[in-house]
Amino acid sequence: MDFPENEKKSLNFIESIIEEDLTTNKNQGRVHLRFPPEPNGYLHIGHAKSICLNFGLANEYNGLCNLRFDDTNPEKEDVEYVDSIMEDIRWLGFQWDDGPKYASDYFQQLYEWAIQLIKEGKAYIDEQPQELISEQRGVPTRPGINSPYRNRPIEESLDLFTRMKNGEFETGAMILRSKIDMSSPNMHMRDPIMYRILHQTHHRTGDDWCIYPMYDWAHGQSDYIEGITHSVCTLEFEIHRPLYDWALDQIVEGDYRPRQIEFARLNLSYTVMSKRKLLQLVKDNYVNGWDDPRMPTISGFRRRGYTPESIRNFADRIGVAKRDNVIDVSLLEFSVREHLNQVAPRAMAVIDPVKVIITNYPENDVEDLELANNPNDENAGTRKVPFTRDIYIERDDFMEDPPKKFFRLGPDREVRLIGAYIIKCDGFKKNDNGIVEEIYCTYDPDTKSGGSGAKRKIKGKAIHWVSAENAIDAEVRLYDRLFIDENPDGHKEKDFKEFLNPDSLKVLNNCKLEQSLKSVVAGDKIQFQRLGYFCVDKDSTENMLVVNRTVPLRDSWGKTK
Ligand code: ATP
Ligand code: MG
């Protein structure tokens, strides 16, 4: 797949709005955004898009961006998620203004504003069962039915709301509704719920509250409290905008006012992105935790070896759309490869080893070869790679009876070893099961890479190898896409889990890495020549390095590897 290089882009529609606002000095020329995650799961690549957009716009316009936890639903929220969210945002390279903010910090103020609305006759307590309330809402094409409580005395609602707050009623016994318009074609305007009773301990406010505001009675107000100017969210909130504005109308004083702007959420092929579904994969052990390298979470990508730069570049490339669309996941992989190509040093690793004995090479001799760490970057320097009589090569770089076009090793054939010599195969030995165990070769001492011998050309590319005596043992985890279907979410009859890729993880535990990798630590990124980009995993121990494949060198999805 070819992707065009970034050209100087024209303004996206959000930038246009901001520039227009700056021209008219709206909100005294301030630009203040926010990223408002609900702490009910780990962040995924869709959130990364939103983070890059919000923090990116703040940087671009010398503005500010808050991190605000939208923690109004204590049933599903947890501090573990709060912590992971902060870690992920920092890792992506962004810093929020001031300390982290929480909608729960505003519970008292939101409560007081609700009281104000009741007093103004704009909100009432409804004691009907939830099903009846939903029924009365009706359908968009027909007006709904007023609740019998709609016009109850203000004093009654005030009294009940206070008692609701004081914990006198069971969960679900009644709700506070705003009194807007039961015949509005926008269902969200048909007396939406503002507060519900939930006898549930909150991860920050403990048991201080047993009534919790709904999203629509918390979000715009929180924006207003924080002085947010541009409240950027995804398209599914477009239909909420009249309510966002209505709620602001009730509280705004002066000429500052936040504005909600919607953009199309990121959808990726071969990926599910709803936190609810990702949570299922974690809870039911389809993956090994939120940071499983197959997960589309930021923590999963980090562990897999993706870099913040590659994710930011990806977010930049896909831009900001007004219409829903699906981005090809290979564009993300392209961005990852592109960045790793610049920063990952090269090394050799053999992941499916077979031994080669170079019979004319002196036993016990070790020759330190000098190999470039990154042929694309002279400053990356060189490293020493020991060459010895016994080496490992990749099992599939040898064929017993190779076809003509196989330009690697086979009986009586020659191949060049990367950074070393040309070797020729004189024979091989099989074990009782017919598996090739040892390959016997002779090397041509006049063909050393880099020297005058390098001039001798043979057909085919050089193959990678590792000295047997000096190899480091490693477990290599090869990851593939988690789903085999382009749109695992898009099947009405079938659950998304039916499209899990049974081969998304392949563990190879007899891998041999070159000696220079002795001191790598978790998170280090390396290009194993001819194999792909890899990243050292946190599961590594003193005796066994564990390495994740981040991406193969080329986009090989759907092709035989
Ligand atoms: P999910 O649908 O995955 O459960 P969410 O929207 O419920 O996600 P929030 O924590 O509420 O998750 O999202 C925080 C912010 O991230 C919101 O502003 C939301 O619009 C944005 N966001 C969530 N998913 C995406 C996405 N796929 N693309 C872009 N922005 C997203
Ligand atoms: Mg949400």
What does residue 194 show for φ and ψ, rounded to 5 degrees? -105, -40
Which residues are near ligand 1 (CB < 6 Å)? Answer: 36-38, 46-47, 49-50, 70, 233-234, 265-266, 273-276
Nearest CA to ligand 1 atom 2: 274
Angle subtended at Cα 136 by Cα 133 and Cα 137, rounded to the nearest 5 degrees: 90
pLDDT at residue 456, as a whole number:
83
Active site annotation includes 68 = no
- What average pLDDT does range 164-171 have in this prediction? 98
What ligand has the least distance to the C-alpha of 41?
1
CATH 3.30.230.10 fits 349-464, yes or no: no
Q: Which atom, in ligand 1's list, is nearest to the CA of 234? A: 20
Ligand 2 mean position, distance from CA 39 (Å): 9
Which residues does residue 195 pair with via DSSP β-bridges, in sequence order? 176, 213
> What percentage of the chain has pLDDT greater than the value 90?
93
Ligand 1 mean position, distance from CA 431 (Å): 56
DSSP labels for 254-292? SS---EEEEEPPP-BTT----HHHHHHHHHTTSSSSTT-
Active site annotation includes 177 = no
**Segment 51-69, tens digit of pLDDT:** 999 999 999 999 999 999 9
Rounded to the nearest integer, the mean pLDDT of the chain is 95
Residue from 15, 38, 127, 367 carrying the catalytic annotation: 38
Helices 154-165 and 107-119 meet at what angle, rounded to 10? Answer: 160
**What are the residue ranges of CATH 3.40.50.620 in the chain?**
15-263
47 exposed, middle or buried (CB, 10 Å; 0-12, 13-18, 19+)? buried
CATH number corresponding to 275-345+474-560: 2.40.240.10
If you search the block for the tokens 């330190």, which residue do you land on?
368
pLDDT at residue 4, as a whole number:
52
- What average pLDDT does range 440-465 have in this prediction? 88
**Segment 225-234, tens digit of pLDDT:** 999 999 999 9
Nearest Cα to Cα of residue 527 among 314, 384, 343: 343
Ligand 1 mean position, distance from CA 46 (Å): 6
**Segment 431-450, tens digit of pLDDT:** 999 999 999 999 999 999 88
What ligand has the least distance to the C-alpha of 231?
1
Please write down the HEC assignment for all residues of 137-156.
HCCCCCCCCCCCCCCCCHHH
pLDDT at residue 35, as a whole number:
98
pLDDT at residue 417, as a whole number:
97
**Segment 304-318, tens digit of pLDDT:** 999 999 999 999 999
Residue from 150, 265, 317, 530 carrying the catalytic annotation: 265
**What are the residue ranges of CATH 2.40.240.10 in the chain?**
275-345+474-560, 349-464
Nearest Cα to Cα of residue 198 among 222, 169, 220, 219: 169
> Residue 401 corresponds to which tokens in the numbers above?
């009876």
Residue 6 has pLDDT above 70, yes or no: no
Nearest CA to ligand 1 atom 15: 37
| Residue count of the chain | 561
Ligand 1 mean position, distance from CA 435 (Å): 52
pLDDT at residue 8, as a whole number:
57
The CATH architecture one would assign to domain 15-263 is 3-Layer(aba) Sandwich (3.40)
**Segment 112-127, tens digit of pLDDT:** 999 999 999 999 999 9
Residue 1 has pLDDT above 50, yes or no: no
